[in-house]
Structure 1
Amino acid sequence: MQDIAHYKDTLTARKRELYRRLKKIETDLDAPMNADSAERATERENDEVLEQLGTVGLGELEAIEAALDRIAAGTFGACAKCGEPISPERLRAVPHAALCEDCIAH
């Protein structure tokens, strides 16, 4: 089995980083709009990008929380669908992966 402590540390560090990024996004979105209408249009476009980044970040944060729950439950590294081990290569690439390669492909 993979080094659970390593994955827990990796997931916890990524969680902290995501919280920092999401807080920055929130702060940027709360900033007052520019008085210039052309600048406001650009700021609205930027806000849409920030909102999308925030949504993606929240999704990853949920996946990390679920992975940390699997570590606590002793089921980390096992596919949530079929129960087979998730390959070390997949976990290195996506430490919060809940599915093995076969299940994610189907």
Structure 2
Amino acid sequence: MLEISTGKVVRVIMLTRENGPDGVHLAEYIGSLNDDEKVNLVAVMWIGRGSFDADELEEALAEARAEATAPTERYLSGIPGLAEHLENGLEALGINVSDAEDRF
């Protein structure tokens, strides 16, 4: 189970699309998340880009915790296709992104 709201992931997706993955607003927003939310965000991204399958969420979360040596906002800003990976990750986990995007 994810420990970050769908709305927060969608906000990261929207900020990435609006400002690019290296935008200041995106970095500030990700930086404001708590540690569990950051770990979950990275795990969703990894699932979305195919590093883990959706049924490997717990493994992705454990790996994200273990690998969290750099600030998450700096790590994610270097990921090409960040918005698409996050969207794909949510969808792989059975979360309807379109419904959540409509609220923003």
- For Structure 1 versus Structure 2, the TM-score category normalised by the shorter chain is under 0.3
Q: Which of structures 1 and 2 has the bigger CA Rg?
A: 1
User: TM-score normalised to the size of structure 2?
Assistant: 0.27
User: TM-score normalised to the size of structure 1?
Assistant: 0.27
